[in-house]
Amino acid sequence: MLKILEQLRGPQKMRVVCNGHPALRKNSAPVENVTKDIRELAERMIVTMLKGEMVGVGLAAPQVGINKRMIVLHTCLKDGASRAGATAGELLLEPRMPIALINPEIVSSSEEVATETEGCLSLPGVDGTVTRPEQVVIQASTLDGENFQIECGGLLGRCFQHEIDHLNGVLFYDRLSKTEQKKNYIIMKKIEKQEKRRLNS
């Protein structure tokens, strides 16, 4: 009966784990097969990203405590349109968002860089400027087996880099300047303490 009620309610939100959870510092394993469990995980990650206490534009599986190389994205504008001057990746993927992708990797990066402010659902209250390549070529697969290799820029390109960092056990905090790390240090330790308390309860 409980299972039937859960199905009627649709995918349930998951807890976003925070700094201090071991999943955030592990290298995640590739997704070998798209099983029913993987599809359900993707659906729950999308709900978590869009309907959590904080709404995000991307979420990686380690952020819900699962070390699989899967991410979900939702970087398109509210009307579903892409920004002016959008790259091929934005034009291809944004109309299909929210979207789940498996085994994403950066094939190449532009020499040009851009510096923007970033935050993270796993580091609530932490922010800072991160310099990343302005454009990246991404290789990934959809849950339906569509493989692509395409250039991505703008928010989508930055989001891909941020989420792939998560799959490799890297937090955006690691990419901040020493000054900005110092500024955020106290809140990082506070988040870590709260997360470890949850894990031990």
Residues of the chain with pLDDT > 90, as a percent, come to 87
* Complete DSSP assignment for 53-105: SS--SEEEGGGGT--BSEEEE--S-TTSPPPTT--HHHHHHGGG-SEEEEEEE
Nearest CA among 24, 59, 22 for reference residue 43: 59
Which CATH number is 2-200 given?
A: 3.90.45.10
pLDDT at 6 over 70: no
**DSSP structure class, residue 130:** E
Q: What is the pLDDT of residue 54?
A: 84
Q: Kindly report, residue by residue over 61-101, the tens digit of the pLDDT.
A: 999 999 999 999 999 866 555 677 889 999 999 999 999 99
Sign of CA dihedral 23, 116, 71, 69: negative
Q: What is the pLDDT of residue 113?
A: 98
Q: Kindly report, residue by residue over 10-49, the tens digit of the pLDDT.
A: 889 999 999 999 999 999 999 999 999 999 999 999 999 9
Residue 96 amino acid letter? R
SS (H, E, C) 141-169: EECCCCEEEEEECHHHHHHHHHHHHHHCC
Structure tokens at 20: 């201090």
**Residue 198 host element (H or E):** helix 178-200
pTM of the model: 0.93
Q: Phi, psi (5° rounding) for residue 96?
A: -100, 5
Q: What is the pLDDT of residue 1?
A: 43
pLDDT-based confidence at 5, cuts 50/70/90? very low
The answer to whether the CB of 152 falls within 8 A of the CB of 87 is yes
The answer to whether the CB of 128 falls within 8 A of the CB of 100 is no
Nearest CA among 75, 72, 76, 59 for reference residue 15: 59
- Quick check: helix, strand or coil at residue 119? coil
For residues 96 and 21, give the distance between their C-alpha atoms in angstroms, rounded to a whole number: 31
- Quick check: helix, strand or coil at residue 106? strand
180 an active-site residue?
A: no
Structure tokens at 166: 């998560």
The answer to whether the CB of 30 falls within 8 A of the CB of 103 is yes
Q: Where are the domains of the chain?
A: 2-200
Q: Which of 163, 180, 192, 195 is catalytic?
A: 163
